[in-house]
Amino acid sequence: MTRVLILAAALLAASASAQPGPYYPPPPLPPGAPLPGPVLAIPVLQADLKAKAGTDTVRFGRDSYGLTPQSLAVLTAQAQWLIAHPYVRANVEGHADGRQTRAYALALGERRAAAVRNYLIASGVPPQQLDIVSWGKERPATAAAHDATWLQNSRVVISLKQ
């Protein structure tokens, strides 16, 4: 099995060499097959993602799920990292800022996470590598609750997992 995957990866690498880039596309996985676990611990990988992509987070305007040009640059870098680590799965965690009702915050968090996941997939990340979790307004980024905290809470975080 491993030999087949390596062979497939080599073939893909060869076919992709016509378009030089820092990352090769990942080997295709049989549908439904469990992904092999990552060798490095998740916190180490998460730190590496933050270092390489600059951040594991993108932010949003009030009640918006539109991706800003800065967000797109960050997501492109995050996509490259995820493509280079095909055995690391990630939760795309959507958050709302706390200026909505609970149910609307959950829906808004899902919308934001879906927008990010769609962009990452369009950037070449395999869909099965990315799961969506909306936390609504249940996991604010800041301990304080006042007007200056809203923008920090409106966010999507790429959270790596086993």
Partner 1 sequence: MRFRDSAFLLVLASTPAAAQAPSSSAQLVVAVPPLPTPRNVDTEGGQTGVIGIQIAQTIASDLRSSNSIMSIAPDKLPVYSPVQAGAPVYQNWLRTGAGAVVVGYVQARDDGRITVACYLYDIKQRREMSRKGFVVPPGEWRRAAHRCADAFHAGITGMPGHYDTRIAYVAETGTRTAPVKRVAVVNWDGTDHRYLTRGETTVLSPRISPDGERIAYMSFTGGTPHIRVMDSDGENDRPLVQAIGMSFAPAFSPDGRRIAFSLAAEGNTDIFVMNSNGGMPQRLTRTPGVDTAPSFSPDGSKIVFESDRGGIPQLYVMNADGSGQQRISFGGGSYGSPAWSPKGDLIAFTRWSGSALRIGVMSPDGSGERAITSGWQDEGPSWAPDGEFLVFQRTQQGSGLSAVYTVSTAGGEPHRVLLPGSGSDPSWSGASQ
Q: Where along the sequence are the contacts to partner 1 (CB under 8 A)?
A: 63, 65, 98-104, 106-108, 110-111, 114-115, 118, 131-134, 136, 138-147, 150
What is the C-alpha separation between 38 and 43, in angstroms, rounded? 11
What is the C-alpha separation between 29 and 106, in angstroms, rounded? 32
Q: How far is the CB of 27 from partner 1 (least distance, A)?
A: 25
Q: Which is nearer to partner 1, 48 or 63 (CB)?
A: 63
Q: What does the block give as tokens for 11? A: 């073939």
What is the side-by-side strand order in the sheet with 130-136?
A: 57-59, 155-161, 89-95, 130-136
Q: How far is the CB of 141 from partner 1 (least distance, A)?
A: 7
Q: How far is the CB of 110 from partner 1 (least distance, A)?
A: 4
In sequence order, the 6+-apart residues with CB closer than 8 A to the CB of 72 are 119
Q: How far is the CB of 83 from partner 1 (least distance, A)?
A: 22
What is the C-alpha separation between 63 and 122, in angstroms, rounded? 24
Is-contact 142 149, C-beta < 8 A?
Answer: yes
Q: Which is nearer to partner 1, 30 or 147 (CB)?
A: 147
Q: Which is nearer to partner 1, 25 or 98 (CB)?
A: 98
Q: How far is the CB of 50 from partner 1 (least distance, A)?
A: 18
Q: Which is nearer to partner 1, 40 or 145 (CB)?
A: 145
- Where does residue 16 fall: left (phi above 0), alpha (psi -120 to 50 degrees), or beta otherwise? alpha
Q: Which is nearer to partner 1, 128 or 138 (CB)?
A: 138
